[in-house]
Amino acid sequence: LWPSFVACFAGRCRSGSFPPLQAAMGDVTDCCVLVCGGGNGAQVVTGLLATRYKTIAVSFFADEAAKWKAALGQDNFELTVEGATVNKVISKPADITNDPSVAAQADVIILAVPSFAHGEYFEKFAPYMKPGTIVGVMPARSGGDILFATKLGEKAKDMIFVGFETLPWACRFSEWGRKATILGTKNSILAAVTPQSAKAKALGTLQGLLGVFPFIIESPNNLGISLRNPGMVVHPGVMYGRWSKEAWDGKPKAEKPLFYQGVDEFTEKILLGMTDEVQTVCRKMEKLVPGLNLADACTLKQWYLDCYAGQMSDTSSLKSCMNTNKAYNGLSHPCKGEPGSYMPDLKYRYLAEDVPTGLCFAKGLAEILSIPTPTIDKVILWAQKCIEMEILVDGKMKGKDVAKTRAPQGVGIHTVADFIKLAKLEGSKKAGGGLLGKLAFCCSA
């Protein structure tokens, strides 16, 4: 048999019936990645991926792209990875630009920008994106897939959306535009793919780009990512618990109060009310969509048990989980002023971002499902005054600024059927998800 195989192989080589090796390999080894943003996360992703693939950094924020390009000049970008054997990574992005037409080159687009900017990137890239483009959003926050489908319209059906729960690293830039440092890499991160039929391609590609760690754990659907979002509960809830009229006399504080470790019984009651209302939304959606698995959208306390196992000395209650979490040592409320006279910064991202792009999604879906949310309502009513937005009016998501939020009503969704259709929830299966009760990983609220 072997001599026959050799003769056959030699014959095909002489006849030229094998495809040219260079052409065959070129189709499967080339990959163009766009990295969106100019902050810590975006610079780290750019530095990491540019070592192997054509990587283009894109920023639409003011003149950030031009400033980054000028800062780097002809030099290479230097990435330090603390604790790694290979702790210096030297690379150079193919380009740094604010031109959205570069999306036509992209096989993968990674967004590492604040959630309020996602819509701008989706909208500007839409005319240029080619079918099959993988769009990974780190983190997607709540309703990222709905926003993506709305901005891309008919083209969305040919794209692949991957919503991540969090950024893969703790990182910072040490010299803006030129040097950055990965302080730590998460063991694993949660991600969901829409449509689910593309999950093997999407997660395989993104795992290859990120490397061995963090390990990407598949979540069954992006609705689970949206409703699991801890920031939409923790940040507005803790801010309300400390600075609302129910808790604060309006006078300056001598010291900045601890944020997580300062959670008291009143704040815990607010947080429990909010997380319970989100759970009610989860259970009703599971009843309405046969086979829908929202196990990953767990309670806030379970999220702490999943993400910070071993770092909390007392897990008997939600309050004790937050108060005794070593990862939160010393983290204080965002404040303005000087020692002895601190006032809260009520326009900080804990309200300005986590309410419109997080909590409003949960409230909007609850409204569609006719689920009362008294705790979420009072937090939004208080927060919208702080951030000078009109979102919730007469208990309904119908304020003049609702279109600036991730609420389904902001994109014209008012019925369960329309939501299910746009979120592509038909035919979701229970298999393959809900792994977080078995796998603990560390991520940041």
Return the active site residues. Answer: 235
CA distance 64 to 61: 6
Given a contact cutoff of 8 angstroms between Cβ atoms, the answer to whether 331 and 270 are in contact is no
Alpha helix (H) residue ranges in 188-247: 199-210, 222-228, 231-243
Peptide bond into 195 cis (omega under 30): yes
* 415 exposure class (CB count in 10 Å sphere: 0-12, 13-18, 19+): exposed
Residues 6+ apart with CB under 8 A from 145: 161, 163, 192, 194, 222, 223, 226, 423, 424
In one-letter notation, the amino acid at residue 434 is G
3-state secondary structure of 46: helix
Burial grade of 14 (CB within 10 A; 0-12, 13-18, 19 or more): exposed
Q: Cα separation of 189 and 214, whole Å? A: 6
